[in-house]
Copies of this chain bind each other. A is one copy, B any other.
């Protein structure tokens, strides 16, 4: 309306000139510090000029002057995995409007690495959120701004983290499975050393052992977190698992469960008739599968909102947040049933 596209953008100086006041006065007004320091009449004229010129503060300049950026960096392995989408959603809804969320992803490959982290450090962020960082990444990482680790698999010395507490859920799952007669259980996991994932497995191991069941050591180990990887590799590991007497499979990531389900169908197995299936995550798709997946809900969204709240407080007060935890919970659906007799 007032300006053709891509015109020079109005500055505080333009506003000041139009009003006939100084830039400082404009600054006071737009930062809400005018009360009792700027005449009301002047304030109104400034407001009017701002509207007429379509003025908006230049956040870059503002950040430089105040020495504080308004950008939060979100470092995520894979925007396409709904777990991270949900964390992202939690973050955006939890963050104040004055913060901008910048996402940093691996430029190639399927997880983020040092270069990605370097970019995160190089950008001027007010705060940083690292989602499910591999442990090897943290060795070489020294934060330059308030940083929070998400789902890092237990507290990491010197880092602030929000973790998923799976103890209760793991125990419930163990009881659920054993209650259905399952003893020998197969596990599908990622090859990379992700603390968060190893963590899941360790708790599971303990919880199952306590009730007399076992995860075995013959895990199906995959290099990528994709449906395809699990689908292709499942038939092979099945030979081994069959011998051990496996009647249920737990997948360290939900995408794996989708793959296993497809493989089962191709092999003519019925789920849960022949094999019970459990997934970590509980994405919106878990209940759309056929059968719907029994899963451990990792509260991805909650992780995001908790991170947003903690990080904002951290940035504002400068005090490191206490270590936090969001609870995972077991959601029983039709993909688990009585163990097949053997």
Chain B residues within 8 Å of A9, by CB: 144
Q: Mark A135-160, 1 if CB is under 8 A from B, else 0.
A: 00000001111100000000000100
A270 near B: Cβ within 8 Å?
A: no
A3 near B: Cβ within 8 Å?
A: yes
Question: A44-65: which residues lie under 8 A (CB-CB) from chain B?
Answer: 56-61, 63-64
Question: A241-283: which residues lie under 8 A (CB-CB) from chain B?
Answer: 258, 261-262
Q: State the CA gap A92–B79 with chains docked (Å).
A: 9
Q: State the CA gap A100–B102 with chains docked (Å).
A: 7
B101 lies within 8 A of A142 (CB): no
Chain B residues within 8 Å of A69, by CB: 60
A164: shortest Cβ distance to chain B, in Å? 19
Contact of A107 among B1, B97, B261 (CB under 8 A): B97
Q: State the CA gap A267–B58 with chains docked (Å).
A: 57
B71 lies within 8 A of A80 (CB): no
Contact of A61 among B64, B142, B144 (CB under 8 A): B64
Chain B residues within 8 Å of A56, by CB: 121-122
How many A residues are at the interface, by size bracket? 35 or more
Of the stretches A34-42, A82-90, A188-196, A198-206, the one at the interface is A82-90
A6 near B: Cβ within 8 Å?
A: yes
B102 lies within 8 A of A58 (CB): no
Chain B residues within 8 Å of A158, by CB: 5
B103 lies within 8 A of A59 (CB): no
A119 near B: Cβ within 8 Å?
A: yes
A105 near B: Cβ within 8 Å?
A: yes
Chain B residues within 8 Å of A284, by CB: 80, 227
B262 lies within 8 A of A144 (CB): no
A93 lies within 8 A of B108 (CB): yes
Listed residue (A88, A146, A261) with the most chain B CB atoms within 10 angstroms of its CB: A88
Chain B residues within 8 Å of A78, by CB: 89
Question: A92-147: which residues lie under 8 A (CB-CB) from chain B?
Answer: 92-93, 97, 100-105, 107-108, 119, 121-124, 142-146
Give A contacts to B, CB under 8 Å: 1, 3, 5-6, 9, 56-61, 63-64, 69, 71, 78-80, 82, 85-86, 88-89, 92-93, 97, 100-105, 107-108, 119, 121-124, 142-146, 158, 227, 258, 261-262, 284-285, 288-290
Leading 7 A-B pairs by shortest Cβ distance = A290-B290, A92-B105, A56-B122, A102-B102, A60-B124, A79-B88, A60-B63
Q: Give 14 A-B contacts (CB < 8 Å), ordered by A residue.
A: A5-B158, A56-B122, A60-B60, A61-B64, A64-B64, A71-B102, A78-B89, A79-B85, A80-B85, A80-B89, A82-B85, A258-B288, A262-B288, A285-B288
